[in-house]
Amino acid sequence: MDIKKNFSEIFKGRISAGVLPNANLRVGNAYKQALEIVRNRLFFVIVIFALAFFTLGIRLCNLVFFGTEVAENSRDSELAALQYERGEIVDRNGVLLAVNLATGSLYANPKQIMDAKDAAKQLTQTLPGLNYSDLLSKLSSEKSFIWIKRNLTPHEQTMVNNLGLPGLYFKKEEKRVYPHGRLFSHVLGYVGIDGHGQAGIERQYDKFLLEEESQDQPLQLSLDVRVQQIIYQALAGSVHEFHAIGGTALVMDTNNGEILGMVSQPDFNSNNVGASPPLARFNRSTLGVYEMGSIFKSFTLAMALDSGATKMTDVFDATNPIKIGGFTISDAHAQARPLTLPEVFKYSSNIGAAKIALVTGEKLQQNYLKKFGMLNALALETPERGQPIFPKIWRKINLMTIAYGHGIAVTPVHVASGISALVNGGVLYPATLIKRKSDVEIAYERVIKKSTSEEMRKLFRLVVESGTGKKAEVEGYMVGGKTGTAEKIAGKGYSESAKLSSFVGAFPINNPRYVVFVTLDEPKGTKETGGYATGGMVAAPAVSSIVEGIAPVLGVPPVGYNAGVIKSAESGDNNREEDIAAYEADR
Q: Which residues are catalytic?
A: 294
The whole-angstrom distance between residue 566's C-alpha and the CA centroid of its chain comes to 39
Other beta carbons within 10 Å of 587? 12
List Cα–Cα distances, 96 to 82, 188, 262, 429, in angstroms.
Answer: 22, 12, 17, 27
Q: Which of 327, 331, 341 is CA-nearest to residue 492?
A: 327
* Distance, CA of 400 to CA of 357 (rounded, Å): 6
CA distances from 17 to 11, 26, 206, 224, 474 (A): 10, 16, 94, 113, 134
Spatial separation of the C-alpha atoms in residues 48 and 51, rounded to whole Å: 5
| Of 138, 148, 142, 144, nearest in space to 69 by CA | 144
User: What is the CB-side half-sphere exposure of residue 218 using CA atoms within 13 A?
Assistant: 16
Half-sphere exposure of 248 (CA within 13 A, CB side): 27
Count of CB atoms situated within 10 Å of the CB of 43: 10
Give the whole-angstrom CA distance, residue 69 versus residue 109. 9
SS3 content of the chain, % helix, strand, coil (to 5): 45, 20, 35
Instruction: Report the candidate in 482, 541, 479 with the shortest Cα–Cα distance to residue 507.
Output: 479
Alpha helix ranges (H) inside 361-448: 362-371, 396-402, 412-423
Strands 96-108 and 89-90: antiparallel
Local structure of 486: helix, strand or coil: strand
Other C-beta atoms lying within 10 Å of the C-beta of residue 263: 30
Q: How far apart are CA 565 and CA 571, in angstroms?
A: 13
- What is the bridge-based pairing of β-strands 89-90 and 219-220? parallel
Burial class of 410 by CB neighbour count within 10 A (0 to 12, 13 to 18, 19+):
buried
Question: Secondary structure of 62-121 in the HEC alphabet?
Answer: HHHHHCCHHHHCCCCHHHCCCCCCCCCEECCCCCEEEEEEEEEEEEECHHHCCCHHHHHH
* Cβ-proximal residues to 302 (8 Å cutoff; 6+ apart), any chain: 368, 372, 422, 448, 452, 456
CA dist 548 and 284 (Å) reads 24
| 142 CB burial (10 A radius; 0-12, 13-18, 19+) | exposed
Backbone angles phi, psi at 508, to 5 degrees: -65, 135
Q: Which residues contact 528 (CB under 8 A, 6 or more apart)?
A: none
d(Cα 323, Cα 568) in Å, to the nearest integer? 33
